[in-house]
Amino acid sequence: MTDFRKEFISFCIDCGVLRFGRFKTKAGRMSPYFFNAGLFNDGAMLGHLGQFYAKAILAADQPYDMLFGPAYKGIPLVASVAIALAQAGHNVSYSFNRKEAKDHGEGGQTIGAPLAGRVLIVDDVISAGTSVRESVQLIEAGGATACGVVIALDRLERGVGERSAVQEVRETLGLPVTAIADLDDLVQFLGAKPALSQALIEIEHYRQLYGADAHA
């Protein structure tokens, strides 16, 4: 596991963003862990989070021209990532969307830099892929091209069928998806933490029940 992935998981646990216990998912499943990016809710945490995104983007070495953050969670994320990339010597523009188009003032549905070229979408997770699909439509309507998605955590969990939401995005939209860390990284991290051995056992059992088929 790349060092920044291990550091990211530790950071999420320390911030209370990644928790272990019993949590009901949107799909009605009882998950032994819960990841809530909305709890990155102060300046220090958001700044640190942006640095992890930047490291994942740079490690993926994927060509892109600008960043896009889908409202609402993607708005602070895309701003923090743009700042972190600039600090790392990669200054790029970014934009985000309004939930409803504005019909006065400057008008339009996006705020920030005009959509242009290859656009990398920055989001927290991919649950059903709805946010990504809406973002792709908006980006294409603006005359640009969505070139990929970067998220914080990939649960590697299947949806209705055998594939995960991330696999659906990769295959149906043809977009590469980069995650700072995924469930495999979490399992590896927990394996080195005896104090979290019970969490590891429960997560392994959950993955047997709901893990996505990598070959689906």
CA distance 192 to 26: 30
Cβ contact 183:155 at 8 Å: yes
CA distance 172 to 168: 6
Which is catalytic among the residues 48, 73, 90, 104? 104
Is 215 marked active-site? no
Q: 160-174: buried (b, 16+ CB within 10 Å) or exposed (e) per residue?
A: eeebbbbbbbbeebe
Cα distances from 184 to residues 5, 6, 135, 196, 211, in angstroms, run 11, 11, 28, 15, 11
Which is catalytic among the residues 102, 193, 205, 215? 102
CA distance 60 to 75: 22
Give the three-state DSSP class for 139.
helix
Query: Which residues, listed in sequence order, are joined to residue 111 by a DSSP beta bridge?
Result: 96
HSE of 55, CA atoms in CB hemisphere, 13 A: 16
Alpha helices in 88-193 (DSSP H): 130-141, 165-172, 183-191
Catalytic residues, which ones? 102, 104
